[in-house]
Amino acid sequence: MASGGISTLQEILLMIQIAPTRLPKMGSGRVSLQRRKEYESEMAFFRAWMQQTVESLGFSPGSRSWCYLFEDAHIITKGDFTKATKWLADARKSFDSDGKPLIPRRFVAKDDARQMTGADVYDKEKTARDYINSEIRDMQARARQWWPASFWKYQHSYPILWTEKADLVKLFEPAMHPAIKRFTGKGWADINSRANVVQEVVWARDNNLEPVILYCGDHDPAGVQISDMIRSNLRPIAEVLLAEQDIPMSYEFSRALYSMEGLEIVRFGLNTDFIEDNDLLWIDGLETSSGRDLNDPGHPDHNKPHVQQYLAEHGPRKVEANALITRPEAAQQLITDVLDQYIDADGVERWEAENREASKEATEKVEHLIKMLTFLDTQGWLYSGHKLEAAAEIHRAKTLPSGPEIDV
């Protein structure tokens, strides 16, 4: 077996879906060659298990979500999350004897806020003829995909997904239509993100749709009373955007568009029944961003009604939304059930039928155009401007689609 490889026994264990039992550690101090080989073999097995998990999920989770997956597989306990996060970061920066990373970076989702931006954009074709042929092929493909009708044309509601965890969006997406907007807002969210949500609400109302925010987040004192928090969070932004808008409209109509008071906000998770039914992990303590626990009588929010009510009903513990990563099928069923209440299935069918007909028409026109171009190319006229102009006058009636807008 090559260094860092997987033995036949380990392959069998993976096939029957047996996970590692602990986070591999080489040990401190001077390490023997034999121990290093054993460690790399353990890491190879752990790496293969992580790869199998990523393939099963369909995406790479973030570090925090990996901790929940580790805990769900009984690799760590809920008190080991901090250590596991550091172990994962160290493993991604370390290499085996063959110079390969112990844990590939692609297994852990990137922090979008830290991604490098900028790109060198240029065409890959080496000749003008290759470029034009490529564009013609693209045009043909785009014609087949032409869907001019908006998804919302035959809908009545306009759901907007709001979560506090990026991994939740990835979990939900396979069960969501691409037209449904997703918003990841950590905590109170930044002003620009809140402004985007308000603008979506205004757009929906302006297009005779009823906007509704569908929220899924942590089960903690703040999470269970999130509806009022979201409304108060959006209200000042809406007031600013209303004051800045320069579209001429009546004052009453403007106020109605930008009002957050009538906005429907639905918290569909995490809820106690779902947590218990799916055996999600409870975390002891209610530590806030200040580092203090809400169960501490000295915490400034300890005596607030919603905190006291939560403590009375659930005790000093919480369930983070990241825990859903361990139940992907239940997560997709959760979002499907709530969207079924707001997406009109008959409207979806009408939308698809209208767009299929439009796509068929566009494809026929493009195929006619390609036949014309093929004829011009066989005559040697396509890449000669002078010859093409003369050919167009001769063959215009036979080769060009009808329509006054055609201009060769």
**138-282+319-347: in CATH 3.40.50:** yes
**Residue 231 and residue 265: Cα distance in Å, rounded?**
8
C-alpha dihedral sign at 121, 123, 126, 128: negative
Three-state SS at 90: helix
Q: What is the pLDDT of residues 75-120, one digit of tens each?
A: 988 788 889 999 999 999 888 888 888 999 899 987 655 556 677 8
Token pair listed for 394? 């001769």
CA distances from 199 to 148, 203, 234 (A): 23, 6, 11
Give me the DSSP letters along 144-179.
HT---S-GGGG-SEEEEEEES-HHHHHHHGGGS-TT
User: What pLDDT shows up at residue 265?
Assistant: 94
Span(s) in the chain for CATH 3.40.50: 138-282+319-347
Q: What is the pLDDT of residues 128-162, one digit of tens each?
A: 778 878 888 888 888 888 899 999 999 999 999 99
Bridge pairing between strands 317-318 and 283-284: antiparallel
Strand ordering across the sheet containing 181-184: 181-184, 157-163, 210-216, 264-269
Long-range contacts at 289-298 (CB < 8 A, ≥ 24 apart) = 289/187, 294/221
Where do runs of H (alpha helix) occur along 225-327? 226-244, 251-258, 272-277, 305-314
Q: Which amino acid is at 115?
A: Q
Q: What does the pLDDT average to over 247-273?
A: 83
Q: What is the pLDDT of residues 239-249, one digit of tens each?
A: 888 877 765 55
Question: Which element (helix H / strand E) includes 269?
Answer: strand 264-269
Is the pLDDT assigned to residue 34 strictly greater than 80? yes
Q: What is the pTM of this model?
A: 0.73
